[in-house]
Amino acid sequence: MHDWIDRRRLLAFAGAAAVSPALGQETGSAHLHAMMAPDPTAPKVAMLVYPRMVALDLIGPMTVFTIMRWNLQLIWKERTPVSTDVGVPIAANATFAEAYSDPDILFVPGGLLGTIACMQDPEVVDFVAALGARAKWVTSDCTGSLILGAAGLLRGYDATSHWGVADLLPLLGARHVAKRVVRDRNRLTAGGATAGIDFGLVLVSELAGEEASRRDQLILEYAPAPPFRNGTPDEAGPERMADIRKGRVWMDEQARLAVEVARRRLAPG
């Protein structure tokens, strides 16, 4: 059974460290490191990072998986930090050449402008296609599903994406299902950025059982209570949706053009 980190153990450790500073500085720090270190027998997760990605798309699932002590690789062409939507750079810890050859999970986050650039980059698309063909689970959050689709990994599968571009999934051979998290066999896709935590908990439930996922959720104190019911197109209503789409016209058109190019590339013959 996994040696999960929970608040009770951390509080016990903190109390012991307070009584004995030497424990906190020496034995304690080593123990804490051991508690947090990935479990070599746990799933291997290959997580794509790329310029102009949405940080929350990555950080939500990454936090869920870290609590489980899964083995995480952040993968990009090189190890130099990539930009994110919030201005906090994220550095890969493995290059394409160093990536797991047989990951248990391939995960692709979103970020529409970065997603479009990845879809237009043959090196990225070929890498995702090759790794996805070997992964036990092929997964994404937000617009990351378009990258999976461009790599031919969603043909014949139910999938979802951010509401702004979810209608493009059928052009890449997927069946769009308007749900927060969609599973079809070994494909697991999630909607907008905040759905990444839900996605992570669903995947933990699939691989480690419901009780492990419940424990993870409790450690995170994940009990969403948004101030407004406005998080989906249906909740927002047609008037608000029409208004917000006005500011997305150029961006959504670029996504459609990139998807059309990918569709033609995937077409047989």
142 tagged catalytic: yes
26 within some domain? no
Would you say residue 15 lies in a domain?
no
Taking only the tens place, the pLDDT of each residue in 183-216 is 999 999 999 999 999 999 999 999 999 999 999 9
Residue 225 lies in a domain: yes
Cβ neighbours of residue 98 closer than 8 Å, sequence gap 6 or more: 73, 75
Q: Is residue 106 part of a domain?
A: yes
pLDDT score, position 36 = 73
User: Within 10 Å of residue 1's Cβ, how many Cβ atoms?
Assistant: 6
Instruction: Count up the domains in the chain and report the number.
Output: 1
- Among candidate residues 142, 182, 190, 195, the one labeled active-site is 142
pTM: 0.88
- pLDDT at 7 exceeding the cut of 50: no
pLDDT tens readout for residues 94-112: 999 999 999 999 999 999 9
CATH code, domain with 210: 3.40.50.880
The residue range of the domain holding 76 is: 38-266
Tens-digit pLDDT profile for residues 118-148? 999 999 999 999 999 999 999 999 999 999 9
Residue 30 falls within a domain, yes or no?
no
